[in-house]
Amino acid sequence: MTTPITLLTGFLGSGKTTLMNRLLSAPHERRIGVLVNDFGAINIDARLIVGVEGATVQLANGCICCTIRSDLLAAIESLLNGPEPPEALLIEASGISDPAEIIQTIAHSGLRARTHVDGILTMIDAEGFDRLRGRSRVLAEQQVRTADLVILNKADLVDETTLQNLEAWTRRQVPQARVLRAVQADVPLALVWGMASEQGWQRSLHDHDHDDHAQRFQTWQWHSDSPLDLAAFQRFLDDLPTNVYRLKGLAYVRDLPDAALVVQVAGRRASLSQGQLWDDNHPPGTQLVLIGEGALDVLTLRTRLEACLADNIAPTEFRQWWDGLRQWWRGRRTPES
pLDDT at 200: 39
Angle at CA of residue 219, ends 195 and 24, nearest 5°: 35
Same domain? For 98 and 173 the reply is yes
What average pLDDT does this structure show over 71-77? 85
* pLDDT tens digit sequence for 84-110: 888 888 888 888 888 888 888 888 888
Question: pLDDT band at 201, cuts 50/70/90?
Answer: very low
Same domain? For 55 and 174 the reply is yes
pLDDT at 138: 92
- Angle 99-107/72-80 helices, nearest 10 degrees? 50
Asked whether residue 184 carries a pLDDT value surpassing 80, the answer given is: yes
pLDDT at 276: 87
Cβ contact 188:205 at 8 Å: yes
- Tell me phi and psi for residue 225, to 5 degrees: -90, -5
pLDDT at 44: 54
Same domain? For 139 and 248 the reply is no
CATH of the domain at 140: 3.40.50.300
Q: What's the predicted TM-score (pTM) here?
A: 0.67
Domain tally, the chain: 2
CATH of the domain at 300: 3.30.1220.10
**Best-predicted range by mean pLDDT among 4-18, 19-33, 158-172, 235-249?**
158-172
Same domain? For 108 and 151 the reply is yes
pLDDT at 204: 41
Same domain? For 158 and 31 the reply is yes
Pick the more confident residue, 268 or 244. Answer: 244
Same domain? For 282 and 167 the reply is no
Same domain? For 61 and 207 the reply is no
**Best-predicted range by mean pLDDT among 69-73, 113-117, 290-294, 325-329?**
113-117
Same domain? For 27 and 157 the reply is yes
Q: Is residue 323 domain-resident? A: no
Asked whether residue 306 carries a pLDDT value surpassing 60, the answer given is: yes
Q: Is residue 334 domain-resident? A: no
Q: What is the rounded distance in angstroms from the CA atom of residue 264 to the CA atom of residue 221?
A: 14
Instruction: Pick the range with the lowest mean pLDDT from 149-153, 167-171, 179-183, 210-214.
Output: 210-214
Question: pLDDT band at 39, cuts 50/70/90?
Answer: low
Last residue of a domain, one of 129, 160, 187: 187
Cβ contact 222:237 at 8 Å: no
Asked whether residue 167 carries a pLDDT value surpassing 50, the answer given is: yes
Angle at CA of residue 261, ends 314 and 30, nearest 5°: 150
Same domain? For 35 and 149 the reply is yes
pLDDT at 301: 96
pLDDT at 183: 93
Last residue of a domain, one of 156, 187, 218: 187
Same domain? For 11 and 126 the reply is yes
Q: Is residue 321 domain-resident? A: no
Q: What is the rounded distance in angstroms from the CA atom of residue 149 to the CA atom of residue 192?
A: 9
Nearest CA among 165, 126, 121 for reference residue 10: 121
Q: Is residue 318 domain-resident? A: no
Domain carrying residue 51: 3-187
pLDDT at 91: 87
pLDDT at 151: 94
